[in-house]
Amino acid sequence: MSDTTRVFRSAELLERHQYISELAELNRIAENWSTLDREAHVIEFPIRRPTGEPVVLCQQAGSIVTVIARADDADLVALREAAHDLDKDRIFSAYARLGNRVVAAADRAMSIDLGTVHGIVDVVYGDRIIIRNAVVDAETGFNIFQLSFDGGDVDVTAFRVVEHQVRDGAEPLTALLLVKPRELSPIEREAERLSPPRATGDTITPAPRASFIDAVANVAENVGHGAVKAAEVYGCAVRFNIAQQQQAAGVEAQQGVEHVDQRVGGEVTAEMTAEEVAEVGLVGMRSVIAMAGSGTTIAPGASVDDLLAYRASLLSR
């Protein structure tokens, strides 16, 4: 068993919870951060390695940078105060100092073992661990992570830092999260307008009916049930090669679902015969029948796997 493994095993026994008070300002920062650097896609922090080689540290638009350090860490305190004051120059300066410390630590090529681990934390949002087992080593004294985030208001009360491997007398580890929202495109802004956060339910605004839909309705009305059945058999035999199943079982609701999928597009052209047009119209009708007659509903929030399982159960009936 390696030292690292022992660290994490023992960490499970030593746990304490600490709420992040700094995050009360998170949303205010998020709202104003884009005003700091609206034009730039990323914020760059030029720093220098001890060898003189320039390195660029950047925060991507649409991300959250999480700085984990002791509460009394000077650079963390400076970054927090600069962020609260929305002072771009001081934020850059604090980031650059942190970046230099990271570079120095990386150049030491340190190994993580019990002697160098200064603390281990999980950052939790609600009931989900978003950063797991983040190691803060004694030399660097902090760690930085980057999460993707598409914007929106974050519930600041949902964040927690869970610190493992607590050392006696040590300042508690804390986390400072800096959000940089991305600039929305015109279409994304329209989507926000048409579907704001309070509108969360599913909805359909049917696409405009093309003229051929009316043609479908007229033909279906005129040809009558017998012709429709003939069109159905015709369509299945020619297009789907399942004439035997169709003749044996009649109109099977689940086949309606299958036809919808196979007859992608459902295009109707002026050159089609009445039977062909009716067949395309039937595809939609049978699908509705299949869904309405299924007698079951899909659980809200079902995953893709759940949807596939439900669909398979429909097809197997």
- Restricting to residues 123-152, which ones interact with other proteins according to CB under 8 A? 123, 125-126, 128-132, 134, 143-152
4 contributes a contact to other proteins by CB under 8 A: no
Least distance (Å) between residue 229 CB and other proteins: 19
**1, 264, 295, 316: which one binds other proteins (CB under 8 A):** 264
Number of chain residues interacting with other proteins (CB under 8 A): 97
112 contributes a contact to other proteins by CB under 8 A: no
Least distance (Å) between residue 168 CB and other proteins: 27
Least distance (Å) between residue 156 CB and other proteins: 10
First-last CA distance in the chain: 53
Question: Residues 6 or more apart from 145 whose CB is under 8 A from it?
Answer: 65, 66, 68, 123, 131, 134
Instruction: Answer yes or no: are the C-beta atoms of 133 and 120 closer than 8 Å.
Output: yes
13 contributes a contact to other proteins by CB under 8 A: no
The strand pair at 15-19 and 117-125 is best described as unpaired
295 contributes a contact to other proteins by CB under 8 A: no
**CA gap 123, 126 in Å, rounded:** 10
**CA gap 84, 159 in Å, rounded:** 18
Binding positions for other proteins, 190-249, rule CB under 8 A: 190-192, 194-195, 197, 199-207, 209-213
**CA gap 265, 203 in Å, rounded:** 21
* Complex with other proteins: residue 115 or 186, whichever CB lies closer: 186
Least distance (Å) between residue 145 CB and other proteins: 4
Closest CA to 181 of 17, 37, 10: 37
51 contributes a contact to other proteins by CB under 8 A: no
